[in-house]
Structure 1
């Protein structure tokens, strides 16, 4: 049973195609995780004020697309690897495995919460975070996935029965529901509940309704990718369409920013508008995420092979996530005492080495697994 669960965990965090793995999706996921590692590696050691302005924009600005890309690819992965099995005799088993994968991710979320907070927080603060009274920041996205995997397995059959117009409209409907609840409903003054569902300005969380629309968009794109990926001309048209959607969002962002563009870019680089999500941040983040996804679809297997370390990281994203968090918070912060005590160049060098080490770790453990 544990071996089967492990396979399913690798299918949710890095899903392959049901008729052969789509390595381009691994690459897109690996790009998201790699950008996340760059952000965590530097921000985990330095404050924003210690990062040179010319590195905040563009280097750390670009990392702000990672979370949106990660969630989009999650939806793509569900559409490619699980949606085709909905309604089949095998679906109950696969649904159970999705739920068990959520339990696995919840375990890692809570364990890494302790890892993240143990350096700077008191035990009572850590206990509060474990009991959902407060939230960490660096590992909080795992909490989002763990909860999402409690409702997604029951939502997929409904999604498959929806008419196409309703599927297309569903992300907009969810955005509308999020907006109404965030602004007009206070969840009985229960801040953690509000944070988990729609986000709260005092808690660093990924709300299910706030980020759920990206899962739905990913489902839509995933169905198209599964259908057209093996057809070169159709794949190029699909990649161009995704790139066009990216361009629309970026043009809207640039139009709204106007003459304040430098200030807007710096604000986004400093996470302004990330939690709860604000329009400018989401336009930039989702626009960039769609561009990377378009690049992955266009480059296909050639891109995945040419940039293999990124693809390797995306092939087991959960392992990449817990590895880099442990190295940063146990190795760099606690054992080496590098927190706020190294230069930006040194922190970035460590982070780039961590990227390479993460790929090597995944490759090594995969080799060991294959040999045993």
Structure 2
């Protein structure tokens, strides 16, 4: 019973936890594959064998990305919220928010060229409409503004309060989804998603960030102890497998498992989040996270390009959007010029290219 009354008492991480970078890199890699295909050939032109299993499995990406966001916050910042260095570290997060927001707007322009009129692009910059592929960056820019305000409160809240907050926010966002927000579609999209806009609502995704914080707390306590880490891995695999099983249970009850899988592959239930999509996406993300943690430093080295991509998510995101939309679609006029296997190959090359770009910029910074 006492565990429910505990507040976070976290040790400092004993160096960088490469498994977090690997998990984030897998999320980004899946995202790059998805964006490359949808950006170059269009999701409607993907053959059936590509939708399931390829784009079915890429749906783990967004949930894994947000979970790792929360985990990284717990590992890097939560322990310092009750120390004198917190104001400086809080400012660091807010400066990062401004950086992410700048690139969100810059990449919005790049994504919308040359297929939209200048007025449409200006509307997107002023939050009168939304782009598609870069909207996840807009979500993180806003989240980095409010998360530093929540972290000190989270660090003083007992476990039962933290769990209650996750449940309460989930219920609140589901209730708000049924409201019209006075016809203000932009506000609804930014808070709880909107079916007509490819946005990520802050309230609807906040529970996943907070779950990531809980996992990050457990990770700090368990990662450097082999027996404890094994227990954490098994717990994540168990919960993830149950969620995926729940998805298949609902699909079987509806009488058409194949149709349910194809619907997930086509993003049905992604914006706003639906039950079946959430069960499959979050469940798979937890399993992937568990595998990355189980592999540890050895797996991170074996999959070095993915780990490198995950070590600087913003730089990897900028690289792949610029390459897909500015270089391949705009400058080389490559939209519709690729077959599906070729687009997958280009996506793989962009993952390697992003890793090389991150390495090169670090090498230049080191010897400049």
What is the distance in 1 between the residues matched to 2:176 and 2:341? 44
What is the distance in 2 between the residues matched to 1:211 and 1:119? 31
Q: Secondary structure at the match of 1:285?
A: helix
Question: Is structure 2 residue 245 aligned with structure 1 residue 245?
Answer: no
Q: 1:337 maps to which residue?
A: 333
Question: Is structure 2 residue 352 aligned with structure 1 residue 362?
Answer: no
Bigger shift: residues 325-334 or 341-350: 341-350
Q: How far is the alpha carbon of 1:370 from its aligned partner?
A: 1.8
Question: Is structure 2 residue 158 aligned with structure 1 residue 163?
Answer: yes
What is the distance in 2 between the residues matched to 1:169 and 1:304? 34
CA contact (8 A) 2:37 2:43 kept: no
Give the 5 Å matches for 1:49-198: 49-183=44-178, 185-198=179-192
Question: Is structure 2 residue 290 aligned with structure 1 residue 301?
Answer: no
What is the distance in 1 between the residues matched to 2:145 and 2:125? 18
What is the distance in 2 between the residues matched to 1:305 and 1:231? 20
1:239-291 deviation per Cα after TM superposition (whole angstroms, max 9, x unaligned): 00000000110111111000311111111111111111111111110011001
CA contact (8 A) 2:113 2:330 kept: no
Q: Secondary structure at the match of 1:55?
A: helix
Q: How far is the alpha carbon of 1:144 from its aligned partner?
A: 0.4
| Residue number among 20, 23, 29 corresponding to 1:28 in the alignment | 23
Q: How far is the alpha carbon of 1:89 from its aligned partner?
A: 0.6
| Residue number among 267, 271, 276 corresponding to 2:263 in the alignment | 267
Q: How far is the alpha carbon of 1:49 from its aligned partner?
A: 2.9
Q: Secondary structure at the match of 2:194?
A: coil
Return structure 1 stretches of 4+ with deviation > 4 angstroms: none
CA contact (8 A) 1:36 1:63 kept: yes
1:49-92 deviation per Cα after TM superposition (whole angstroms, max 9, x unaligned): 32111111111111111000000000000000000000101000
| Residue number among 213, 220, 233 corresponding to 1:219 in the alignment | 213
CA contact (8 A) 2:82 2:152 kept: yes
TM-score of the aligned structures, taking structure 1 as reference length? 0.94
What is the distance in 1 between the residues matched to 2:206 and 2:309? 24
CA contact (8 A) 1:119 1:329 kept: no
1:32-53 deviation per Cα after TM superposition (whole angstroms, max 9, x unaligned): 0000000001110112232111
What is the distance in 2 between the residues matched to 1:365 and 1:341? 31
Q: How far is the alpha carbon of 1:18 from its aligned partner?
A: 4.3
Q: 1:7 maps to which residue?
A: none
Q: Secondary structure at the match of 1:44?
A: helix
CA contact (8 A) 1:309 1:356 kept: yes
What is the distance in 2 between the residues matched to 1:163 and 1:346? 51
TM-align CA RMSD: 1.0
Q: How far is the alpha carbon of 1:341 from its aligned partner?
A: 2.4
Q: 1:47 maps to which residue?
A: 42
1:162-203 deviation per Cα after TM superposition (whole angstroms, max 9, x unaligned): 1111112222111001011111x3222211011100111111
TM-score of the aligned structures, taking structure 2 as reference length? 0.95
Q: 1:322 maps to which residue?
A: 318
What is the distance in 1 between the residues matched to 2:163 and 2:293? 20
Q: 2:201 maps to which residue?
A: 207
What are the ranges of 5 or more consecutive residues in structure 2 without an aligned counterpart? 1-11
What is the distance in 2 between the residues matched to 1:370 and 1:173? 47
1:192-242 deviation per Cα after TM superposition (whole angstroms, max 9, x unaligned): 011100111111100001111100000000000011100011001100000
| Residue number among 309, 315, 320 corresponding to 1:313 in the alignment | 309
Counting matched residue pairs gives 355
Q: Secondary structure at the match of 2:205?
A: helix
What is the distance in 2 between the residues matched to 1:356 and 1:181? 41
Q: How far is the alpha carbon of 1:338 from its aligned partner?
A: 1.2
What are the ranges of 5 or more consecutive residues in structure 1 without an aligned counterpart? 1-16
